[in-house]
């Protein structure tokens, strides 16, 4: 039973990452003419995703401790490393980069227009955040395969 729960949590984590990052956020920007509104909604979705990610990581750590009898030590270490790396991706992006991006957005004028240097820095931070998200998304696939 715990093996099924562990797989379910891994699939929820991966599926939510893939859905928010590669379906919902791009659809918002493609559908809404107001890019500031699209960014605000996407930011809210990514915030919920980050909290869900940390919850899934915690649940998987508990399930790794109590629901992996019969696993080799190597498999257990690999899954632990995947969970830790994915959680680290969330922490770096959501609690490291996102506050800096929010600060740049807040410094923009009331119409949401950033100065050139702010746009450049925001673009760089967004690119780094996107790469971290991509790495986390690939790790999520690997996590499912290791269940």
Phi, psi of 145 (to 5 degrees): -65, -30
pLDDT, one tens digit per residue, over 65-98 is 998 989 999 999 999 999 999 999 999 999 999 9
Among 2, 11, 4, smallest CA distance to 56 is for 11
pLDDT, one tens digit per residue, over 92-142 is 999 999 999 999 888 876 666 777 888 899 999 999 999 999 999 999 999
- Name residues whose C-beta falls within 8 Å of residue 107's C-beta, 6 or more positions apart in sequence: 114, 118
Q: What is the pTM of this model?
A: 0.91
Q: How confident is the model at residue 143 (pLDDT cuts 50, 70, 90)?
A: very high
d(C-alpha 63, C-alpha 113), whole Å: 47
Q: Are 108 and 37 in contact (CB under 8 A)?
A: no
Q: Are 9 and 56 in contact (CB under 8 A)?
A: yes
């Amino acid at each position: 039973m715990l093996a099924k729960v562990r797989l379910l949590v891994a699939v929820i984590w991966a599926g939510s990452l893939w859905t928010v990052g590669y379906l919902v956020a791009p659809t918002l920007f493609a559908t809404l003419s107001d890019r500031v509104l699209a960014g605000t909604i996407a930011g809210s979705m990514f915030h919920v995703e980050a909290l869900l990610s940390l919850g899934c990581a915690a649940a998987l750590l508990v399930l790794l401790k109590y629901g992996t009898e019969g696993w080799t030590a190597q498999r257990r270490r690999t899954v632990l490393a995947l969970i830790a790396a994915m959680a680290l991706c969330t922490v770096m992006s959501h609690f490291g980069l996102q506050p800096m991006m929010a600060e740049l957005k807040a410094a923009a004028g009331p119409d949401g227009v950033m100065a050139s240097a702010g746009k450049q820095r925001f673009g760089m931070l967004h690119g780094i955040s996107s790469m971290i998200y991509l790495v986390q998304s690939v790790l999520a696939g690997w996590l499912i395969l290791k269940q």
